[in-house]
A and B are shown apart, each in its own frame.
Chain A
């Protein structure tokens, strides 16, 4: 049947094989089938950015991607950012140091977006940072601390985890 499909997908360095409904979103697959609830859902139509994850090294909206489309892909979510010994990713450290989160709902999406951006733009201007983050909404911080955090992480080496 073309309404269910068995997929193989690697999420945060662990390989899974699961049978999913073809209309299951990647976000729901990650949250409800894999029980990794760090990926958040705000709007489910691409506007808020909370569900942003990394697929094969590129940031994507997991609410706008079907789980079956991730067959064969490598996914990194917020849960995969820190090292196995618990050391935070430099961008997590920068958010921590700069008080760049309050409720934290938007944070997973901001982190994944910022990592991709800083890999391609190691020496950005503040304007570029704001542009890069324009697709992520935060209702708490007023953004300034988030921009500060990304600016402060610029230039640090980004581990290859997302």
Chain B
């Protein structure tokens, strides 16, 4: 139902909506809401609990504000979390990376520990929007929003990461794959918010690959593939492969993963295996036609992206 920002139907262009507003003599774009900027997590959770279905978290605003300006969403309570202390944890530990709710895309890119330990995450983040958007937009916001073309949901799935959720009732931790629940939808309940993402450290010597196709630099991807690969003595030990931009959210390509894991994998035979993996991916996909790409073009792109991401990952195996 909700369309990603920057991807609008011809019926709902901002220009037309603005002219309607001008006719109505109204200079405010978003619908009415009560605005709260609590300074503690407890206060925020209390507000979200009271608001129930009518409440929304305002993080970076880089997806929510466009939706409000276009009146695609209509929350009656906005809980701005930007003034809460302690939500900006960005901690690269020996086993896992913790990313708090106020960590911006740009913060990830500035941290050398992430480039080194989670290079797949760092590389994908360079493809998220543009520098100015990355200054404000948060990683947790992107994951909560679950735009099918967004990078972060797929990267979290590829790492086998998890989502830490808080409400007045306490906290729970959900594996990434169980968190995403269809187009722009998650298993977050009313009153809950995401407070942290956890990315396990990829195995030593893992190779990573991330490739996406977008019309212009910084646009949402039409198709993309993320890969983490480990190879020991010419045999593929583990393969994680996620496709983005294709269905209702990040898609883990299990058939292709199973095909690769345990099979001999060298520079010599990789072409054959990667082609087979790409075919598995294409067979598993059921994309729809839309204004950006036809279904068959999308499926074709997914195959090409898969192959390129796998090649990039194999070339980097053992690099660390």
Binding between chains A and B = yes
Question: Footprint of B on A, CB under 8 Å?
Answer: 2-3, 5, 21-25, 28, 32, 43-47, 49, 52, 58-61, 63-66, 68-69, 71, 113, 116-117, 130-132, 134-136
Known contacts A25-B29, A135-B218, A113 near B37 by CB under 8 Å: no
User: What separation, in Å, do the CA atoms of A25 and B65 have in the docked complex?
Assistant: 9
Any A CB within 8 A of the CB of B52: no
Cβ contact within 8 Å between B131 and A46: no
Known: A46-B6, A69-B37, A131-B217. 13 other contacts (CB 8 A): A22-B35, A23-B28, A25-B69, A52-B132, A59-B131, A61-B62, A61-B132, A65-B65, A71-B37, A116-B132, A134-B216, A134-B217, A136-B130
* Closest chain B residue to A117, Cβ basis: B131
* Closest chain A residue to B134, Cβ basis: A135
Chain A facing B: main interface SS: mixed
Cβ contact within 8 Å between A135 and B28: no
Known contacts A23-B28, A46-B65, A63-B69, A68 near B135 by CB under 8 Å: no
Cβ contact within 8 Å between A113 and B131: yes
* Closest chain B residue to A5, Cβ basis: B35
Q: State how many angstroms separate the Cβ of A5 from the closest Cβ of chain B.
A: 7
Any A CB within 8 A of the CB of B66: yes
Q: How large is the interface on B (under 10, 10 to 19, 20 to 34, 35 or more residues)?
A: 35 or more
Any A CB within 8 A of the CB of B46: no
Q: State how many angstroms separate the Cβ of A122 from the closest Cβ of chain B.
A: 16
Cβ contact within 8 Å between A22 and B33: yes
* Closest chain A residue to B216, Cβ basis: A134
User: What separation, in Å, do the CA atoms of A136 and B27 have in the docked complex?
Assistant: 24
Which of B6, B37, B66, B132 touches A68 (beta carbons < 8 Å)?
Answer: B37
Please, which residues of chain B bring their CB within 8 A of the CB of A2?
34-36
Known contacts A2-B36, A23-B32, A45-B14, A64 near B136 by CB under 8 Å: yes
Q: State how many angstroms separate the Cβ of A78 from the closest Cβ of chain B.
A: 15
Which of B27, B32, B65, B135 touches A32 (beta carbons < 8 Å)?
Answer: B27
Any A CB within 8 A of the CB of B287: no
Q: State how many angstroms separate the Cβ of B131 from the closest Cβ of chain A.
A: 6
Chain B positions 50-69 with a Cβ under 8 Å from a chain A Cβ = 61-62, 65-66, 68-69
Any A CB within 8 A of the CB of B18: yes
Annotate B288-302 by CB proximity to A: 1 below 8 A, 0 otherwise.
000000000000000
Cβ contact within 8 Å between B66 and A45: yes
User: What separation, in Å, do the CA atoms of A134 and B29 have in the docked complex?
Assistant: 26
User: What separation, in Å, do the CA atoms of A46 and B69 have in the docked complex?
Assistant: 10
Annotate B106-147 by CB proximity to A: 1 below 8 A, 0 otherwise.
100000000000000000000001111101100000000000
Cβ contact within 8 Å between B6 and A45: yes
Known contacts A64-B62, A65-B61, A23 near B135 by CB under 8 Å: no
Which of A24, A130, A132 touches B131 (beta carbons < 8 Å)?
Answer: A132
